[in-house]
Structure 1
Amino acid sequence: MNPEDIKAVFGMKPEAAVAYLKQKGIAVSWDWQDMLDDAHATAFTVAKTAKMDVLSDIYSAVVDAAEQGRTLEEFSRELASVLQRKGWWGRQEVQNPEGETQSVQLGSPHRLKTIYLTNMQSAYMAGRYAEMMDSIDTHPYWQYVAINDSRTRDAHRMMHGRVYAADDPVWNTLYPPLDYRCRCRVKPLSRSMGENRVLPRPNLESITVDIGANPYTGEERYAQRTGIRINNKFIAPNAGFNANQGKSMLSRMAKIAVDKAQATHPDIARITLKTMMGNDRFKNALSTASLTWVLKLLKG
């Protein structure tokens, strides 16, 4: 990531990125497998946070870091002292949700770095998605950009430079981050810059992968990975990242608007939603159920 990108991600306060973090609720989880795909866009969670107050502290620190443009070092220094005082630090023997004692790794510098980088990248890319959707009329093509250094994953390297139409379904899943600590991004291209480079709409392929049995119930857990074939190699987000964070955020915001409309007088809701439906981005963010309700309301 070049210096300009680092500044954009971690040294500024992009309003859409902050909004992405603030619109999340928080959800206690024990295993990372408990929160997959779209859930990342609607709830903030950290595995092995059995106490809500600890999770709240971490969440508040992440939001504050985004708002204030705090560096990783500042974020880690301030949050580590809080977590250490509360005992959420180091390897400890703790009770899992079933009441059994288990040796687990709680807070650590490595863990805080992963929390910081993953959440900042998710927030930044969600904000970027909203901004790029707002300029789709002038920049109708998007290009995947990887870092391409010794730490770059092969799948991400193979996506580097590929250009697809902004409305191509490929972006529903292959929109970064594609994994923990993913540093990739997407760059919008104007019509003149992208029309000779855009690739045909690829065939999307979905596979189901085993992500391990629930250690308490024994029930097998699975995740979906949706991607494409490049040189006959399957390229897809890692388990748990099979959703476009920005699109999920906009869908959640659209749902909130519809929920509020459903709670008000039908005549007021009809006037409000008629105006909002004139915005293609709002209309495209609606779920099938919400869109059906809105269209029925507008017909009277």
Structure 2
Amino acid sequence: MNPEDIKAVFGMQPEAAVEYLKQKGVDVSWDWQDMLDDAHATAFTVAKTAGMDVAEDIYKAVVHAAENGETLEEFTRQLTPVLQGKGWWGRQEVTNPDTGGIQTATLGTPHRLKTIYLTNMQSAYMAGRYAEMMDSVDTHPYWQYVAINDSRTRDSHRLLHGRVYRAGDPVWDTLYPPLDFRCRCRVRPLSRAAGEAKVLPSPMLETQTVDIGTNEYTGEERYAQRTGIRIGGKFVAPSAGFNANQGQAMLSRMASVAVQKAQAVHPDIARIALKTMMGNAKFKAALSAAELAWVLNLLKG
């Protein structure tokens, strides 16, 4: 699936998706378990890049692909020689920067670049989609989960297909796609007339702590949380590392930046700016409890 396919499926322009990618910071990691949930949603990282000076190259290539509508083939063709030139390619004996030990690791491969491309593109488009849908909750107060439903669709994602919940239902805090690497699901907004007869009661959320493996070098046991619902007795939840709504993370980050900037200027200036911002329900909802309390206190002055 290339950017044009994604744009057609998600029904949106790429600007919001590009903005989502540009807001991410670049972090480095050795094991994918180091970056889970909110950290995964707010930082760009690729496992096995720590100490190898390639995370920034991959990040720039992903942003460039989103900005210019590059296909997977174009993305791979341009990035591969860069990574090969820096030695981040194939299966090699490398030093684990966390332990200092030598281990055999698979670095860059065409299959891995495809996963990086698809996962980041779809996360970006779904985050942008979330922001757009939040702007239209007055006219489209219900959201419907939509899966592709072909031979590659995961069973758990297929179970979610067609389910409708109100836009503000806590179920979307975690069951907003992508729910896994290469997830192709999306969410579509429904008008009151289209969704009222289909909307389901808010389901009971269940959180499970799952073992995601032992670090073979440090012996550290690693765990992650998966929050989901029961459908026909089956537990349906995002895979480990995807237990966060990418769109919510993006809006929260934007709101936090706005509050930080307001705290750095004269209170009279901050008061004028935040009064306008608080008229936007999306901004207000994205604030943390502490940020909201600070803003409300400022506006009282």
TM range (shorter): over 0.9
TM-score, normalised relative to structure 1: 0.96
Cα deviation, 1:164-214, whole Å, max 9, x if unaligned, reads: 101111000000000000000001111111010011111111111111233
Answering whether residue 253 of structure 2 is matched by residue 252 of structure 1, we say yes
Identity of aligned residues (%): 80
Q: What secondary structure is seen at the aligned counterpart in 1 of 2:105?
A: strand
What displacement does 1:297 show? 1.4
Q: 1:27 to 1:5 in 2, by over 3 A?
A: same
Q: What secondary structure is seen at the aligned counterpart in 2 of 1:197?
A: coil
What displacement does 1:220 show? 1.9
Q: Distance in 1 between matches of 2:4 and 2:19?
A: 22
Cα deviation, 1:13-65, whole Å, max 9, x if unaligned, reads: 61100000000010010000000111122210000002363111100000000
Answering whether residue 231 of structure 2 is matched by residue 206 of structure 1, we say no
Alignment of 1:227-246 (within 5 A): 227-246=228-247
Q: What secondary structure is seen at the aligned counterpart in 2 of 1:53?
A: coil
Alignment of 1:115-126 (within 5 A): 115-126=116-127
Q: Distance in 2 between matches of 1:164 and 1:204?
A: 13
Q: 1:232 to 1:87 in 2, by over 3 A?
A: same
TM-score, normalised relative to structure 2: 0.95
What displacement does 1:89 show? 0.3
The corresponding residue for 1:51 is 51
The corresponding residue for 1:86 is 86
Give, as a single letter, the amino acid of the residue that structure 1 aligns with 2:62: V
Contact map agreement 2:3 2:66 (CA 8 A) in 1: no
Alignment of 1:125-136 (within 5 A): 125-136=126-137
Q: 1:139 to 1:11 in 2, by over 3 A?
A: closer
The corresponding residue for 1:174 is 175
The farther-off stretch of 240-249 and 79-88 is 79-88
The corresponding residue for 2:275 is 274
The corresponding residue for 1:283 is 284
Answering whether residue 219 of structure 2 is matched by residue 223 of structure 1, we say no
Give, as a single letter, the amino acid of the residue that structure 2 aligns with 1:276: M
- Output the aligned Cα RMSD: 1.9
Q: 1:12 to 1:61 in 2, by over 3 A?
A: farther
Alignment of 1:16-55 (within 5 A): 16-51=16-51, 53-55=53-55
The corresponding residue for 2:8 is 8
Contact map agreement 2:52 2:88 (CA 8 A) in 1: no
Q: 1:132 to 1:52 in 2, by over 3 A?
A: farther
Q: How many residues align?
A: 300
Give, as a single letter, the amino acid of the residue that structure 2 aligns with 1:192: A
Q: 1:52 to 1:247 in 2, by over 3 A?
A: farther
Q: What secondary structure is seen at the aligned counterpart in 2 of 1:207?
A: strand
Cα deviation, 1:131-188, whole Å, max 9, x if unaligned, reads: 1111111111111000111111000000000011011110000000000000000011
Contact map agreement 2:95 2:102 (CA 8 A) in 1: yes
The corresponding residue for 1:193 is 194
What displacement does 1:91 show? 0.1
The corresponding residue for 1:155 is 156
Contact map agreement 1:10 1:69 (CA 8 A) in 2: no
